[in-house]
């Protein structure tokens, strides 16, 4: 398997040719209030000119428009222009192809990227860097906070407060060399348009990385030394896969048929137990 740099340009020349070091790529679907807060957040941390933020609109209604946002940083919005039920993998790959940065931070709209994380991405120590996660929010003015009272309003379960707000790591948030990601084919788009969500689009990419790692051809930063990315409380961290505080996130269900059958069986069993008690 071949390792890739950005096509044509040699790594030693890339810093001269390309003024952008880091591209932040975020796929978005119907989350306008979180988008607004994210823009305020990026404005507040004073991004340098060698950083760009790319939002890829994955079929929002109404579509996002670049003209609606006042920014003090390099900012672009692209659209998949694909109205099929589920095109997030295509949105991720489109963002990579549009990215000007030598490195990309790939993540989702419910994650919060700090300036410290961006600085790490400018000079990464590994080919791929994965993240630890903690719960946090951006308030109505785009200010970062981990205030417990605010997190409780968002529905964060009590056990995460006992864990110092630590959340499990996220499989598709990472720092990647842009050309390397593109060369590996990005995430799998075979399920685009099927409506299947989630659709395991990360699996082929992970397998390729695992193979390269076993051959000592790639380095991956994992474990306790990973940098931290932050996440708005939603979904299973608030008690249900589809928990959507304030309706701020897209309403595509994560509950697949297997999950629905298990839930139906559980409810049926509980109903039988109640009847027996009566």
Say which CATH topology domain 11-277 has. Spore Coat Polysaccharide Biosynthesis Protein SpsA; Chain A (3.90.550)
Q: pLDDT per residue over 81-129, tens digit each?
A: 887 777 889 999 999 999 999 999 999 999 999 999 999 999 999 999 9
Q: Would you list the domain boundaries of the chain?
A: 11-277
Q: What is the DSSP string of the chain?
A: -----SSSS-HHHHHHH----EEEEEEESS-HHHHHHHHHHHHHTT--TTEEEEEEE-S-SSPP-GGG---SSEEEEEE----SS--HHHHHHHHHHH--SSEEEEEETTEE--HHHHHHHHS-SSSEEE-EEEE-EE-TTS-EE--HHHHHHTT--HHHHHTTTEE---TT-EEEEHHHHHHTT-S--TTTTS--SS--TTHHHHHHHHHHHHTT---EE-GGG--EEEE-S-GGGGTSTT--GGG-S-------HHHHHHHHHHHHHHHHHHHHH-
Cα 23 to the chain's mean position, in Å? 13
| Per-residue pLDDT, 111 | 97
Between vectors from CA 161 to CA 158 and to CA 27, what angle results, nearest 5°? 95
Residue 12 pLDDT level (bands cut at 50, 70, 90):
very low
Arithmetic mean of pLDDT, 207-221: 94
| Per-residue pLDDT, 254 | 78
Of the listed ranges 8-12, 142-146, 191-195, 266-270, the one predicted with least confidence = 8-12
pTM of the entire predicted model: 0.87
């Amino acid at each position: 398997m071949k390792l890739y740099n950005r096509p044509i340009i040699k790594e030693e020349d890339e810093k001269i040719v390309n003024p952008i070091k880091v591209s932040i790529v975020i796929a978005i679907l119907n989350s306008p209030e979180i988008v607004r807060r994210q823009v305020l957040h990026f404005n507040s941390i004073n991004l340098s000119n060698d950083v760009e933020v790319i939002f890829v609109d994955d079929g929002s209604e109404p579509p996002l428009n670049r003209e609606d946002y006042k920014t003090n940083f390099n900012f672009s919005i692209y659209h998949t222009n694909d109205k099929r039920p589920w095109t997030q993998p295509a949105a991720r790959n489109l963002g990579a192809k549009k990215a000007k940065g030598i490195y990309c931070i790939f993540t989702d709209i419910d994650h919060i990227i700090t300036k410290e994380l961006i600085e790490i991405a400018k000079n990464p120590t590994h080919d791929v860097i994965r993240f630890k996660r903690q719960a946090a929010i951006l308030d109505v003015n785009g200010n970062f906070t981990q205030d417990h009272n605010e997190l409780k309003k968002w529905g964060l379960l009590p056990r995460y407060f006992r864990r110092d707000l630590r959340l499990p790591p996220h499989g598709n948030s990472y720092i990647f060399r842009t050309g390397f990601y593109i060369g590996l084919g990005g995430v799998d788009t075979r399920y685009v348009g099927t409506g299947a969500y989630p659709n395991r689009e990360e699996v082929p990419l992970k397998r390729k990385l695992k193979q390269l790692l076993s051959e000592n051809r790639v380095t991956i930063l994992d474990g306790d030394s990973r940098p931290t990315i932050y996440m708005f409380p939603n979904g299973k961290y608030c008690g249900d896969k589809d928990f959507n505080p304030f309706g701020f996130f897209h309403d595509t269900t994560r509950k697949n048929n297997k999950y629905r059958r298990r839930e139906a069986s559980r409810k049926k069993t509980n109903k039988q137990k109640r009847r027996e008690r009566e």
